Structure 1
Amino acid sequence: MSTQGHDMQRGLKNRHIQMIALGGAIGTGLFYGSAETIKLAGPAITLSYLIGGLVIFFIMRMLGEMSVDEPVSGSFSHFAYKYWGEFPGFVSGWNYWFNYIVVSMAELTAVGIYINYWFPNVPHWVSALVFLVVITLANLMNVKMYGEFEFWFAIIKVVAILGMIIFGLFLIFSGINGQATGLSNLWTHGGYLPNGLGGLVLSLVPVMFSFGGIELIGITAGEAANPKKTIPQAINQVMWRILIFYVGALTVLMIIYPWNQVGLDGSPFVQIFSKMGITAAATLLNVVVLTAALSVYNSGIYSNGRMLYSLAQQGNAPKFLEKLNKNGIPVAGVLASSGMTLIAVILNYLIPGKVFMYLFAVAIIAGIINWTMIIITNLKFRKAKAAQGEADKLDFKTPLHPYTNYLCFAFLIMIVVLMTTIESMRMAVYILPVWLLILWIGFKAKKSAR
């Protein structure tokens, strides 16, 4: 209950939920982070995304099972608090907030990289600051405004990727100058697995960054007009979206251009068409990747405001964050989250050019904590439902429960172990226990203050 007498509004329609789900699956991880994956896996990047996508699909089904049964704002933090305990609820909520703060910082950093394609002399921090202000203002209006922003952002991404796939297929079979590209780039530069199985397995680490934030589908349940219908639809479509937008687009890129000539100094999508001399396509794609970054930042501000609101309702955050304005917007939560992402602006000012990979690694670790919490909470949720005799009445069951829970959990442990072998990501693994200790201290401080 809001301290201002207002409630959250169910202003997100089916088309909004569908596009929010899609927006969560298509962002900087695909458009920029895929450069790192290509370096590790080569043409087998498509297989990397299939494996990672399958794991994420199962985790989303676990979240969906709970969200459809209890469509509340705050999503898995609420479920962890209710079915696991106070500390897991505290950890789940604050870690999700922290995760999306880091992801939002990475997206703001990527915005500066994309703007430099047209204006190379504009500092990254300037671009980041401008877009931070614009997106924050949009999120302070009403939830429908957020939904409309995200709807059109996602439409641009979808149309552009489909257009790129179609144009890429044209190049493969006809060629710009009448000479077809053919399929040989998939195996003539070291083979389909140029770095062997080791490269494929290592590539799963940056792949998982691409899926960070997809759990936003569950966060929208509290403001969805018909959650029992729209949430299952959105989650079930995640798999084919990954097939089309990730696997389809990257397969086309790997065919039309040698994988070993893709650099790390920009989006592979823009680089490839630019190096092929198709500047119009490169410029258009740069608009798209910029839109994608803004889309994820938009979702970050939205979800973080709601998570702080949920934490305040639980008593796990200051009460002022529970306040809603007349439009049902958690203004304090939105402004607090937006204010934290200002750190990205400062970092881009202090260490330009190095920020993205640091944030990239920390975001993966925070995402792994989120997904692990969902997996374990779902096991406890199902156990509670079984004890109440309601397990068979669930409308949206996780396939092959509980075996998929255990499989996904083992996969996430493997990702953390792999991160210790990658120099640029090792520090993030060391941050993990420190972050959990900070959360434990915060929880104990909250308990003692009662």
Structure 2
Amino acid sequence: MESHEELDRGLKNRHVQLISIGGAIGTGLFLGSGKTIQLTGPSILLSYTITGCIIFLIMRALGELMLSNLNYHSFLDFIADYLGKKAAFVTGWTYWFCWIAIAMADLTATGMYVSYWLPNIPQWLPEIIALAILLGLNLVAVGLFGELEFWFALIKVVAIIALIIAGAFMIFTGFKTGAGTVSISNLWRHGGFFPKGASGFALSFQMATFAFCGVELVGLIGGETSDPKTVLPKAIDTIPLRIILFYLGSLFVIMSIYPWSSLSADQSPFVQVFSEIGIAAAASIVNLVVLSSAMSACNSAIYSTSRMVRSLAQEGSAPKTFTKLTKNRVPGNALVFSTLIIFLAVLMNFFVPSRIFTMISSIATICFIFIWGMIVFTHLRYRKTNPELAAKSTFKLPLFPYTNYLVFIFLAFVLFVLALATDTREALIFSPVWFIALLGIYHFKFERNKPISSKILQDFDKQDQN
């Protein structure tokens, strides 16, 4: 009989594969890609390629760590093992905050998308209904979480494939739009491949990085699959193919159909393309897709924050009640707690200006960069302190340790780019406040009353381990 102290390994291979695809496709691709292209031009294709390669390396590091010990149910477990309890405390609560912020923003967006069809109902009503449904299904079984994400991801995948097929038809037939003839040459005929110069190309990396926030969720769900040794490597190794197909494929097609300079920054290019080929309900179709994307983000947030809170509780960094599992072996108390925090978004819609949500989302994105850096740094420590275990690994990060350093350089570059843009500079300045607050809480909770002799002994232990 399986222990009820262990999380249910109820996710199937098809769940993990589609969830990993969905994690790499954000709402921004459907709604915000017009604005992205306007700010950068065709060079956005190169930005996504470079960023996608870095994300792949981060995920390989995460995969190697997760498979080094099948008792790991989240990256918080191996961070605690290799970097200590304080690092795990800060990383865990930071990741929790990342997803809470994303959920709040996407829950607000859910109400807006439903209002497109039902303009007379109050925006908060669909938000409450959506949150209640997602919580209920997550409480039943992890398999239902997987099933929801499977269908949400499938909607996004079908929309992108439909765009690529329609675009390919228009390219090969020399289709004429109001902006001219559809042609691949549109990628370089209107100011070149880098029409915004080096500065425009550099700034595009903040948008490309934002697009991949949440892709590390595969590392969490991998712990609840029946066969993580097979499923996790497959999900991670197909990331480059997914990036080529979904991001590069769709943006390549869009910019071949329309010169980048003629795309509207305020309208989804998907709506423009589908309308061009005579689909009258194009706006409604894209609205359905972005609604599913927002619901997917909320669903992932409820899942990931509950698992993270449970891991924190197991480490002693959160109340022990959050470790308890229901009869379906899901962390019920942690699920309810995270959902209640996300529910604050409904209340905040009445009192807080939208600019605050932009600030919170920007800070969350900066925190995601911190999470990725911690994963890669932990991998570095794992390889150096546990070489015997690392030698047995069949799923290694290629070109260690050079790829680790390459990731660090890229993440530092993105932070520098964030400092250049006005709308993200404020978030970058305020982000340290979050980390200082967490370190302060940790100190008062765990270190303030600890005897000095105990601290010295712990320091000696750490030196012996190293």
TM-score, length-scaled by structure 1? 0.92
Pairwise CA distance, 1:145: 0.7
Instruction: Give the structure 2 partner of residue 55 of structure 1.
Output: 54
Q: Could you tell me which amino acid in structure 2 is paired with residue 424 of structure 1?
A: D
In the alignment, which residue of structure 1 is the partner of 2:197?
A: 196
RMSD of equivalent CA atoms: 2.4
Structure 1 counterpart SS, 2:395: coil
Matches within 5 A, 1:252-263: 252-263=253-264
Q: Is the 8 A contact 1:6 1:325 kept in 2?
A: no
Aligned to 2:128: 129
- Tell me by how many angstroms 1:260 deviates: 3.1
What amino acid sits opposite 1:172 in the alignment? I
Cα 1:160/1:127, change in 2 over 3 Å: same
Q: Is the 2:30–2:286 contact (alpha carbons within 8 Å) kept by the matching residues of 1?
A: no
Q: 1:363 to 1:35 in 2, by over 3 A?
A: farther
1:207 is aligned to 208
Larger mean CA deviation between 149-158 and 228-237 belongs to 149-158
The answer for the alignment partner of 1:288 in structure 2 is 289
Give the number of aligned pairs: 446
**Would you say the 8 A contact 2:38–2:260 is kept in 1?**
yes
Shift of 1:180: 4.9
Q: CA deviation at 1:70?
A: 1.6
Q: Distance in 1 between matches of 2:291 and 2:137?
A: 17
Corresponding letter in the other structure for 2:166: F
SS state of the match for residue 420, structure 2?
A: coil
**Equivalent position of 1:27 in the other structure:** 26
Q: Does 1:217 align with 2:197?
A: no
The answer to whether 1:114 aligns with 2:113 is yes
CA contact (8 A) 1:34 1:207 kept: no
| Structure with max Cα Rg | 2
Give the match for residue 462 of structure 2. Answer: none
Q: Give the 5 Å matches for 1:384-403.
A: 384-386=385-387, 389-403=388-402
Structure 2 unmatched runs, 5+ = 451-466
CA gap of 1:353–1:91, structure 2 versus 1, over 3 A, is closer
**Structure 1: runs of 5+ lacking an equivalent:** none
Query: 1:341: which partner in 2?
Result: 342
**Aligned residue in 2 for 1:325:** 326
CA 345–236 in structure 1, closer or farther in 2 if over 3 Å, else same: same
Q: Is the 8 A contact 1:110 1:356 kept in 2?
A: no
The CA distance in 1 between the partners of 2:438 and 2:294, in whole Å, is: 29
C-alpha distance after superposition, 1:311-370 (max 9, x if no partner): 101111111111110001111111111122223323433456546533431221011111
Shift in alpha-carbon separation, 1:380–1:29, aligned structure 2, 3 A: farther
Judging changes above 3 Å, is the alpha-carbon distance between structure 1 residues 103 and 327 closer, same or farther for their aligned structure 2 residues?
Answer: same
TM-score normalised per structure 2 = 0.89
Aligned residues of 1:305 and 1:337 also touching (Cα < 8 A): yes
The answer to whether the 8 A contact 1:105-1:359 is kept is: no
8 Å CA contact retained: 1:171, 1:180: no
The equivalent of 2:457 in structure 1 is: none
Deviations 1:246-284 (A, max 9, x none): 110111111212333444545442355457864333322
Relative to 1, partners in 2 of residues 1:270 and 1:290: Cα closer, same or farther, differing over 3 Å?
A: farther
Contact 1:67 1:218 in 2 (8 A): yes
| Secondary structure of residue in 2 paired with 1:279 | coil
CA–CA separation in structure 2 for the residues paired with 1:189 and 1:120: 40
CA distance 1:189–1:129, shift in 2 (3 Å): farther
Percent of aligned positions that are identical: 46
Instruction: Please give the residue correspondences for 1:140-289 in structure 2 after superposition, counting only pairs within 5 Å.
Output: 140-174=139-173, 180-265=181-266, 267-270=268-271, 273-274=274-275, 278-289=279-290
Maintained 8 Å contact 1:65/1:397: yes
Structure 2 equivalent of residue 100 of structure 1 = 99
Question: CA offset at residue 60 of structure 1?
Answer: 0.4
**Cα drift, residue 72 of structure 1:** 3.9
Contact 2:75–2:375 (Cα < 8 Å) also in 1: yes
Counterpart-to-counterpart distance in 2, 1:177 and 1:419: 39
User: How far is 1:78 from its partner?
Assistant: 0.9
- DSSP-derived class of the 1:140 partner: helix
SS, match of residue 390 in structure 1: helix
Matched residue, 2:12: 13
What does the per-residue CA deviation read over 1:48-91, in whole Å, with 9 as the maximum and x for residues that have no partner? 11111011000000000001112345421111110111111111
